[in-house]
Structure 1
Amino acid sequence: MIVNTANEGRIMSGGEAIVAALIANGIDTLYGLPGAQMYPLFDALHGASERIRTIGARHEQACAYMAFGHARSTGRPGVFSVVPGPGALNTMAALCTAAGCNAPVLMITGQIPTPFIGRGRGHLHELPDQLATLRSVVKWATRIERPADAPRILNEAFRQMLSGRPGPVAVEMAWDAMAMCEHVRPLAPARPETPVPPLPEAIAEAVNRICEARNPMIMVGGGAQHAAAAVRALAQEIGAPVAALRSGRGIMPEDQPLGLSSYAAYRYWPQTDLLIGIGSRLEMPYMRWSGMGQLTDKPKGPPPLIRIDIDPAEMNRLKPDTAIVGDAEEVSDALLKALHNAGHQSRPIPDAVAAAKLSAATEISRVKPHVDYLHIIREALPLEGIFVEELCQAGFASYFAFPVLRPRSYISSGYQGTLGFGFMTALGAKAANPDRPVVSITGDGGFLFGIQELASAKQYGLGVVTIVFNNKAYGNVLRDQQTGYGGREIASRLENPDFLELARAFGIPGHRVTTPGELHRVLEAAIAADVPALIEVPVDPADEVSPWPFIHPNG
């Protein structure tokens, strides 16, 4: 290879130029599954293995979910690479999950040789218009035409991914262009756009509303995860409890006096005379508590609503009484400063907050057996541990019955509800946080979407502890068929493999427990071992108490 000085660049292939741009932007891990169109990229990854590691997978969807788990657990970009066409299509569920959760995920894929693009000749992995397909889901997508363009385009990908409302982006590069070599000049890392500062008049209006309120409540979403300290300080100043449904959990620890589970927030809602939404779609009060799927772009009646969001479009999707466009941390700090300047006196926590927490805890305890198991997991999982839920009865119950105590320690699929995401996502969370315990809970149905990745966990030493709640069914579907369709069951009961034997086949320890007490002992040992492990919990669907009255209490 011909090398010039660092400032002047050097001769690189397209694959090498991409890898160099990733490293320049601070990427140290890529999740990938190589194939013909991606050979130049993966060869470059091999050459740069001391600076960027590559974690492989057994299915393209796992690459994307791992990148999603990486991003959600760290707040930093997760990057994956797969072949174009069917490989790219296999990642779409994970990409739409990343879009729904505003996760910064970068997809790098290939393309058929340049002369064949748009010709419809049926070249290997050809799609009619791959970029159009990707743009229907991701925030931004484009093609790298030549190696020299890679630094600029990758920087733009990072800028798009991280500016404003974060989200997934994608770049493609044709097979021949990725293998071509030319002179490439490096660039400094990308700089996301600086958030627009909040309008002073909006801050003043919000301060007036806060000063008039006696029982405010704050609801947070994923857009406030980076602003935990600022949100807590604001909440403590105004005596406002903080609640979240999924993505905002852990910003206010739920074991603290101001931390509310989603159901405790529902219990407190009648006393609330001001709602402050920070980085949240506010799905709970206006879609779930108002009746499932009720559509409204303007909250009706009290309480008044203050919305804080970096995306100005959110103010049209759900119109607040006071709109503040800006970064969650910057706005929260500005509100706190303005309150102090206005002579605001810190308020005590209303007695109704503790009453709502106690009432909710008593009612939630009825959701057997999953609440008992979730309490055991909470006891065994250290504070720094990461919990990844799944679309299963225990996962749904975790929305309100698993106390979340730290930011970025609870990972869900957000409103997409992508069945099977959890185990594969947990692998990426563990890869990104090797010193933190990671527990994945899943149902038997969802686990089988990605069970082949036990091989990846073993190969790369990703010590995720996976708890499989095996009710031999798609539990929600089975219950709905029984209660809403006259018991006409179809395709909802499952015949499963022996999960312990399957774990052993992958070279992974397997355990079966039948009581919460057994789970505590086995789970503590598995976490301490820090190697991949599987724990099966057999459950009879007839013994499961539905969690849904606590998720859709007015449904």
Structure 2
Amino acid sequence: MKKRSTADILIDGMVEHEVRYLFCLPGVQNDDFFDALYDRDSELKAIHTRHEQGAAYMALGAAMATGTPQAFCVVPGPGILNTTAALSTAFAVNAPVLSLAGQIPSHAIGKGHGLLHEIPDQLGITKGLTKWAERITQPESASKTIKNAFRELTSGRPRPVGIEVPQNIWAQKSVGLDTYISQKIEMEVDEDSLKQAALWLAEATNPMVVVGSGAIECQREIKRLAELLSAPVVAFRNGKGILDSRHDLACAMPEGHALWHDTDVVIAIGTRLQPQRMGWGIDNDLRIIHIDIDQTELERNGGADLEIHAYAQDTLSIICDKIEPINKKRDVRIDQIKIIKSRLAKEYQNKFGPQLAYLNVIREELPEDGIFIDELTQIGYVSRFTFPVYKPRTFLSTGYQGTLGWGLATGLGAQMVKPNVPVISIAGDGGFMYNVQEIATAVQHKIPLISIIFNDNAFGNVKRMQQENFNGRTIATDLVNPNFVKLAETFGATGIQAQTPDKLREAIKTGLRNNGPVVIEVPCGTFPSPWDYVILPKIRVS
């Protein structure tokens, strides 16, 4: 078999796994890699950004929108360090992202010579932010390393992985493999545990289903389980859309909290169940069934009454089959859920009318399969419990990482891999400026993302906390901003200002007709605080 360079072998692995775009910034340590990529442009297209953080966030957005592995490539040292906010977010939201980083020549690693972009223990830094990371130390290990990387990306809990390649290794050659596809790692399911789970759920008076992103491939099974049990399906952030928000049993976190006190059995699927355990509280009258592919999550936060270490899609159909012949009716539970949802919907409208006026417009103009990118902004916080989501992978959020400024670049990545689906990214004026340079990337690569900036000329959430908690002693939160419309136009994008919800509707319609990026500025003041509905109080004590 003909020998191939390390660069070509890594490209072979990405191409075979149908990675179509490589979000990247070139540099001297990776020159041999990019020279190889030049000849493979029809198979793996380079999408170069203006900052390494932008490249990593674009890969993250692409991975979250598709559920398939996506990749970025950057130089070592400051290059890889610039990606760490995105890598930590990928780790938090279970996104299959491949980090491909250059390195100084292998003979100099760890020597402290002060070579360009040299930092101590770069691989150790990457390992701390990924599920798995390795350095290719010789060309003969390239094939095994890229195959192992994709095995980790496609088996078990999806999380980012990293490969580091020294400058002198890229061009060195070795024999590649016939295939870089690994068989899925199968899990043995404990039949007795499934039987016990079915019995507890069938006997429960007030069962509840809580889903996270680990259940995102199980929407059919989740719907069947919920309808069998007349159980609410509670989702937060990246679990939204697993059950269509229009379904009577679909609940956001405040609805789940209102139902939590009387819940006697909860089945947690692909979720940490962290807000419920650490926030809402548990007691001896509550049984917890926890299904997760990650054993460490089953053991975290005190464990569960019944732990099932398995892929959710391998277990739920079996549990449903076992429930059916022994199940009981729960008509009262359905009525209770409807009453609570109706009550909270009225509360939301009364308390968050200003935010909902804009969110309703976005929802009405965005198609059912359109993608909404949440951000760390007042509109974003309210969207997490009020924005209807109809399909999985159409509400993208930072999860627990809360990485301010992710929205623009993440939206660009989602839009790249979903060219026929509209994508709208929201941001505050503070967060938008974190990656504002990527408007140039959007223009250069003709990415038709709609970005909406809610501009209150402040880090609004921090300022509110200072006002409320520190007697109005505000510091380092007021902002001076550019004219966002002119700024967008300077880059070559379309810039629009929308002063009202009706004007926002017109601007979105314009954006949906546009073939390039659109930036919409919405001047706004202080919005009502959402935090009483985000951080919910303890209502059960063990």
Determine if contact 1:244/1:261 at 8 Å carries over to the other structure.
Answer: yes
Deviations 1:344-386 (Å, cap 9, x if unpaired)?
3675561011111111111111114112111111111000100
Partner residue in 1 for 2:531: 548
Determine if contact 1:444/1:469 at 8 Å carries over to the other structure.
Answer: yes
Indicate the SS of the match to 2:98. Answer: strand
CA distance in 2 between counterparts of 1:547 and 1:72 reads 26
Determine if contact 1:373/1:516 at 8 Å carries over to the other structure.
Answer: yes
Report deviation, 1:537.
0.7
CA distance in 2 between counterparts of 1:426 and 1:435 reads 14
CA distance in 2 between counterparts of 1:393 and 1:534 reads 18
Once the two structures are overlaid, the 10-residue window that deviates more, 85-94 or 516-525, is 516-525
1:144 to 1:65, Cα distance in 2 relative to 1, 3 A? same
Determine if contact 2:6/2:174 at 8 Å carries over to the other structure.
Answer: no
Q: What is the 5 A alignment of 1:151-300? A: 151-180=143-172, 182-191=173-182, 193-290=184-281, 299-300=282-283
Instruction: State which of 433, 445, 450 in structure 2 corresponds to 1:460.
Output: 445
1:263 to 1:530, Cα distance in 2 relative to 1, 3 A? farther
Q: What is the 5 A alignment of 1:69-218? A: 69-180=61-172, 182-191=173-182, 193-218=184-209
Amino acid at match of 1:401: T
CA distance in 2 between counterparts of 1:429 and 1:244 reads 22
1:328 to 1:338, Cα distance in 2 relative to 1, 3 A? same
Report deviation, 1:193.
4.0
Instruction: State which of 339, 342, 365 in structure 2 corresponds to 1:355.
Output: 339
Q: Could you tell me which runs of 5 or more consecutive residues in structure 2 were left unpaired when the two chains were aligned.
A: none
Instruction: State which of 7, 17, 36 in structure 1 corresponds to 2:28.
Output: 36
CA distance in 2 between counterparts of 1:464 and 1:30 reads 18
CA distance in 1 between counterparts of 2:288 and 2:354 reads 37
Partner residue in 2 for 1:527: 512
Q: Answer yes or no: is 1:507 the counterpart of 2:481.
A: no
Instruction: State which of 305, 317, 321 in structure 1 corresponds to 2:300.
Output: 317
1:347 to 1:187, Cα distance in 2 relative to 1, 3 A? farther
Q: Could you tell me which runs of 5 or more consecutive residues in structure 1 were left unpaired when the two chains were aligned.
A: 1-7, 291-298
Partner residue in 2 for 1:4: none
Determine if contact 2:57/2:406 at 8 Å carries over to the other structure.
Answer: yes
Indicate the SS of the match to 1:217. Answer: strand
Q: Answer yes or no: is 1:24 the counterpart of 2:8.
A: no
Indicate the SS of the match to 1:428. Answer: helix
Determine if contact 1:158/1:192 at 8 Å carries over to the other structure.
Answer: no
CA distance in 2 between counterparts of 1:73 and 1:504 reads 28
Indicate the SS of the match to 1:350. Answer: helix
Determine if contact 1:17/1:147 at 8 Å carries over to the other structure.
Answer: no
Q: Answer yes or no: is 1:470 the counterpart of 2:461.
A: no
Q: What is the 5 A alignment of 1:379-528? A: 379-528=364-513
Report deviation, 1:343.
4.2
Partner residue in 1 for 2:58: 66
Indicate the SS of the match to 1:42. Answer: helix
Once the two structures are overlaid, the 10-residue window that deviates more, 393-402 or 141-150, is 141-150
Deviations 1:428-451 (Å, cap 9, x if unpaired)?
101111111000000000000000
Indicate the SS of the match to 1:208. Answer: helix
Determine if contact 1:215/1:350 at 8 Å carries over to the other structure.
Answer: no
Determine if contact 1:389/1:411 at 8 Å carries over to the other structure.
Answer: yes
CA distance in 2 between counterparts of 1:433 and 1:337 reads 36
CA distance in 1 between counterparts of 2:506 and 2:103 reads 50
Amino acid at match of 2:517: P
Indicate the SS of the match to 1:531. Answer: coil
Indicate the SS of the match to 1:122. Answer: coil
1:223 to 1:192, Cα distance in 2 relative to 1, 3 A? farther
Deviations 1:224-264 (Å, cap 9, x if unpaired)?
11111111111112111211111211000111111112222
Q: What is the 5 A alignment of 1:369-388? A: 369-388=354-373
Please provide the CA RMSD for this pair: 1.5
Indicate the SS of the match to 2:153. Answer: helix
Deviations 1:56-79 (Å, cap 9, x if unpaired)?
100000111111101111110110
Indicate the SS of the match to 2:165. Answer: strand
Determine if contact 2:202/2:328 at 8 Å carries over to the other structure.
Answer: no
CA distance in 1 between counterparts of 2:529 and 2:285 reads 31
Report deviation, 1:192.
5.1
Determine if contact 1:231/1:329 at 8 Å carries over to the other structure.
Answer: no
CA distance in 2 between counterparts of 1:444 and 1:192 reads 46
Report deviation, 1:310.
0.8
Instruction: State which of 288, 292, 314 in structure 2 corresponds to 1:305.
Output: 288
Deviations 1:268-306 (Å, cap 9, x if unpaired)?
22332221110001133223434xxxxxxxx43332111
Report deviation, 1:48.
0.6
Indicate the SS of the match to 1:207. Answer: helix
Report deviation, 1:530.
4.2
- TM-score, structure 2 length as denominator? 0.96
Partner residue in 1 for 2:41: 49
Amino acid at match of 1:105: V
Indicate the SS of the match to 1:202. Answer: helix
Amino acid at match of 2:210: M
Report deviation, 1:465.
0.3
Deviations 1:20-76 (Å, cap 9, x if unpaired)?
121122221111000001111112221111111111100000111111101111110
Indicate the SS of the match to 1:164. Answer: coil
Amino acid at match of 1:165: R
Determine if contact 2:4/2:176 at 8 Å carries over to the other structure.
Answer: no
Determine if contact 1:288/1:551 at 8 Å carries over to the other structure.
Answer: no
Amino acid at match of 2:520: I
Report deviation, 1:328.
1.0
Indicate the SS of the match to 2:238. Answer: coil
Determine if contact 1:245/1:284 at 8 Å carries over to the other structure.
Answer: no
CA distance in 2 between counterparts of 1:192 and 1:421 reads 33
Report deviation, 1:405.
0.9
CA distance in 1 between counterparts of 2:521 and 2:284 reads 48
Determine if contact 1:224/1:279 at 8 Å carries over to the other structure.
Answer: yes
Deviations 1:69-116 (Å, cap 9, x if unpaired)?
011111101100000110000001111111111111100111111221
Partner residue in 2 for 1:3: none
